[in-house]
Amino acid sequence: MADFFVGTSVSLLSISTTLLIGAGCFALGFFFAHKETKSGLPFPFSWIRSLADNKRVAVPADDGPGEPKFVERAVQKKPALLEIENLAEILEDFKMVLVVRNDLKMGKGKIAAQCSHATLGLYKKLLHKAPKALSRWEDCGQVKVVLKIESEEDLLVLQGRGKSLKLPTHITIDAGRTQIAPNSRTVMAILGPADMVDDVTEKMLDSVMR
């Protein structure tokens, strides 16, 4: 009789344990199914989407001598190419124009420095987003023309005109350590097929910096 009750108790305990584990799994599943993330998707789906967006690869960790250890790093998607890339395949004559604000009364050395900043800023922007256009410009001898403009408002209007033609631009903003006020927009660089760039700056062709 004692053996019967012991066996019954063990069976009931096993059933109770199984039911508790099952209830726990159900509760966890319900929680994850309804948990929303920043993407607005339920947890399992957002996790799968994150795996698709950011592939992970193992790279050696720099831990000194001994057997190499590996860590995971996310591999980001390549940046989208700019539309100017398509033009680089059919047009050959590319140029860059640098537009300098004449109303700031910068010295020649200051202007040279600001033009360098604008050139480098646009170059870095195109390095990964429009490499063919950049190569086409380099093949043309890295043509650069420097023009002057009389106000910040006119500079921004000019930039808007360039953007409307899908041409890449970059405006340098000075820190204000010398000569001019902080956060002053000093020079705009624009690059693209020569005819299109001239369309943007056509009213300024008589304002070449001397």
- pLDDT of 82 reads 87
Domains detected in the chain? 31-77 (no CATH), 84-204 (3.40.1490.10)
pTM above 0.75, yes or no: no
- pLDDT of 80 reads 79
Residue 91 structure tokens: 């047009």
- How far, in Å, CA of 184 to CA of 3, rounded? 92
- How far, in Å, CA of 40 to CA of 55, rounded? 21
CB-based contact 64:168 (threshold 8 Å): no
What value does the mean pLDDT of the chain take?
Answer: 78
Which residues lie closer than 8 Å to 199 by C-beta, 6 or more apart? 165
Quote the percentage of the chain above a pLDDT of 90.
55
- Please choose, from the candidates 192, 136, 194, the residue with its C-alpha nearest in 3D space to the C-alpha of residue 164: 192
- pLDDT of 3 reads 46
Summarize pLDDT for 113-136 with one digit per residue, the tens: 999 999 999 999 999 999 999 999
CB-based contact 66:114 (threshold 8 Å): no
Q: Say if residue 12's pLDDT is above 80.
A: no
Q: Say if residue 160's pLDDT is above 90.
A: yes
Greater confidence (200 vs 71) lies with 200
- How far, in Å, CA of 186 to CA of 106, rounded? 9
- Please choose, from the candidates 108, 99, 110, 118, the residue with its C-alpha nearest in 3D space to the C-alpha of residue 181: 110
DSSP state string for 107-158: -HHHHHHHHHHHHHHHHHHHHHH-HHHHHHHHHTT--EEEEEES-HHHHHHH
Summarize pLDDT for 42-98 with one digit per residue, the tens: 444 444 454 445 555 555 555 555 555 555 555 556 667 888 999 999 999 999 999
Strand partners, 73: 57
- How far, in Å, CA of 197 to CA of 26, rounded? 64
